[in-house]
Structure 1
Amino acid sequence: MSDWTEFLTVPGAMRELYEVPPALNACDLFYFHMDERLMSVTLGFDTRRLPATRPEVWRDAEFNTFEFYVQFSGVTDLRISGWTGQPHNEFSLSRTADGRVAVTISGTGAEQSAVFQAAEVSLVKSRVYLAGGQ
């Protein structure tokens, strides 16, 4: 899935940066936060595929990595199996019959997964930074 931004409630922020956004499968998932009070799941990704359009605030910055956080709110039917912190690189987003977003994340080995549904999907934060190593 390359244009996951179609699931965002307000896709403009990512679409202003990328003509074609990076596929979630090609990004590193480094953050997974569940908030039972807000009934939300927030995922943090980073990628070395830099935005084509750069906001003025980034013009003089030196950077090689783009980081962004996607929050899923109104989460139901959350099931996690075998979560070990190993790389998770398979993401599937789809619409259910009632308009919710069905999310499946799986990693190395079929026994690692997180599955849930969400009412809304939002880009809640993004930034660029200079990461060490290549």
Structure 2
Amino acid sequence: MNLPLWPELAALYETPPDLSSCPLYYVHVDERDTSITLGFETSRLPDRPRAEWEGERYDTVRFFVVFTGADELRIAGIATEDPDARDRTVDIVVTDTGRQRVSVTSEKRSITFSASASTVTQIHIYLQGSL
């Protein structure tokens, strides 16, 4: 995986979490803006938490990756609940031309597309379990 450099995650983590290990809980395709937003969460806590999180109780970090200039979208096996969600892979490869080839695949479902750029937005923390 040749991930794009996302300064928002690099500011929090020495090594950003592997997206294949992060539950994907949100997909939004905006055909007007030719963007695709993927929402992930991870229980891997930041190495360098934000100052405003000091003293907060949390066990989950949630963030969105917005891919812009998206095209070549292919979706197969849409379902409201995905029993294969934990057995999926997320691959993002930056091509020689600078485009990002994105694929999220499991045995029965997939979404693939190409994008000109991506950024991480809306990083939130919350308490999912009990500490």
Question: Would you say same fold, with TM above 0.5?
Answer: yes
Considering fraction of residues, name the structure with more helix. Answer: 1
2:125 alignment counterpart? 128
Q: What TM-score, normalized by structure 1, do the two folds share? A: 0.87
1:94 alignment counterpart? 93
Q: How many residues align?
A: 127
Alignment root-mean-square deviation, CA: 1.7
Distance 1:97 1:49 in 2: 31
Unaligned runs of 5+ in 2: none
2:70 alignment counterpart? 75
Paired residue type of 1:25: S
Q: CA deviation at 1:12?
A: 1.8
Q: CA deviation at 1:133?
A: 6.3
Paired residue type of 1:70: V
Secondary structure of the residue that 1:20 maps to in structure 2?
Answer: coil
Distance 1:60 1:103 in 2: 36
Q: CA deviation at 1:54?
A: 1.2
Unaligned runs of 5+ in 1: none
Secondary structure of the residue that 1:13 maps to in structure 2?
Answer: helix
Listed as ranges, the matches of 1:109-128 within 5 Å are 109=107, 111-128=108-125
Listed as ranges, the matches of 1:38-57 within 5 Å are 38-57=33-52
1:17-63 Cα deviation digits (max 9, x unpaired): 00011100110000001111111110000011000111110002110
Distance 2:78 2:101 in 1: 19
Paired residue type of 1:94: V
Paired residue type of 2:94: R
Q: What TM-score, normalized by structure 2, do the two folds share? A: 0.89
Paired residue type of 2:31: E
Q: CA deviation at 1:130?
A: 0.4
Distance 1:99 1:16 in 2: 23
State percent identity of aligned pairs. Answer: 35
1:77-120 Cα deviation digits (max 9, x unpaired): 0010112241162111112342210011102x2x4111100000
